[in-house]
Structure 1
């Protein structure tokens, strides 16, 4: 097969998250970091082959670099879907070998494929032959009764044998029976050292760690052991943490921190363009709710966006009102602080 092209791993990525990392979410995250690798939600091969491709695969030029994550287990179908994804402009094609949901299991893809490493390797060989962009794997350390020290290394070694060089490893075992996907977010415990060991023993591979990383400080600690870090819920619920990524994680000289107000300013043209196309405001602003998390006025920001943003005909003025409300509350708090200082 054609040798998969070598490529530089991105040191920070935002995980593929169902119902969350759609094109509007990705455009918001890009306002905060120019360098982080963004991922689509998982898209099944059947959907790519037979569904509405504009709805499923459409992306904006501002999103790059962005990866398409596919779900499937039929090599021929994955090859066609990967080729289509490349044609739509995606910078990477990633295979989901980590999602534990019942719906995914019933389709014979996701985390259950950890039990079939030979099939995963066959799928990756087909994808690698089909595209010129990097073909990558996102997996777990194991599932159910598997011994992670064996299951993880076997999967990685089999895929590496067919040319895969980039692996994203969720450092928690997936339980397909006995735990709900929600419970599996916290149980069993994460095994970061195993993923670090994978990198140490397979130094020629690019290893990105995923699972439970909640801050850039934690990401920096992991980067002492692996090539990259993938953020999940932390990046979605508190997207402002991405505003320091280009300087702290990528070491970009002169990169300024992008604060929440600047992110909204940068996102505004995207909002206006999509509104003009008929996209509902709430479809975009739902991803902005956590932007001011922990700051004065965050509650007012969320309330205005959620209450007014869903109304028929809601437009950019809703975002302006929400921004004005949080700005006003912050100014009041600053004024009170100055008054208290003068009184003292």
Structure 2
């Protein structure tokens, strides 16, 4: 990280990071309404600055073509995953970002190991991939609803009481493998309170334009609130690592959650610090020849190089 912005962002996201090896209890020390002393009126400008920063570093990431970034978003229903993606990624080049949402697995997906469908959607080098829900569904939904595990048709000796601890280890190793190969993994849990979820569900019912987002299944899942809180707490405790940390983002205030998500992703990219590639002396000589040809093509009365006229610093850099 090379400038003051990086230090400020690192300080901002540090309290959200789950310390590897720590014991997480979501009902203790994680306030879904926390806003770090910020006011909503300042939120738009902060988010705008974060989006601008992301655009700058995403372009460098794509140009360098060495690293890739996988962003995993987890939350309960109405946690704000879709809105976070839409707002945080609003200023980046869509060619360099791919979003994957994982629903109920298909018959083909169930015929493979549980990580197979996620591995197929991993980022390429130079790309940001966003998992809207992720491989962590395999230790969350599948854990809360054992019938989903039964559909995976595992061998009998693989369905024992130690399955969740084994999956935590497998996921940690898989993510370590990815990071060792140049793919950064960053994981965000949008921490929503039970009352705020109830309010958002009612909003989806009361506003006709939001009806399509609501399903009775959402309320059925809400009945498992305590089970999900336990599953999330254990997952965060077991899988926040130095190479792929979890960040718990307070999600009751959507504007603050989006600022946090932008800051966390920007922090990841700034830590990579991707650089534009050096084209080399031979390529630069070829560029000089091409520029002279283009300058000779200038119409009568037109500038030979309009861009350099408008940006004198560019003329100085090229010498």
- TM-score, normalisation: structure 1: 0.29
Higher helix proportion (structure 1 or 2) = 2
Q: Which structure would you say has the larger Rg?
A: 2
Structure showing greater relative contact order (alpha-carbon pairs closer than 8 Å, 6 or more residues apart): 2
- TM-score, normalisation: structure 2: 0.30
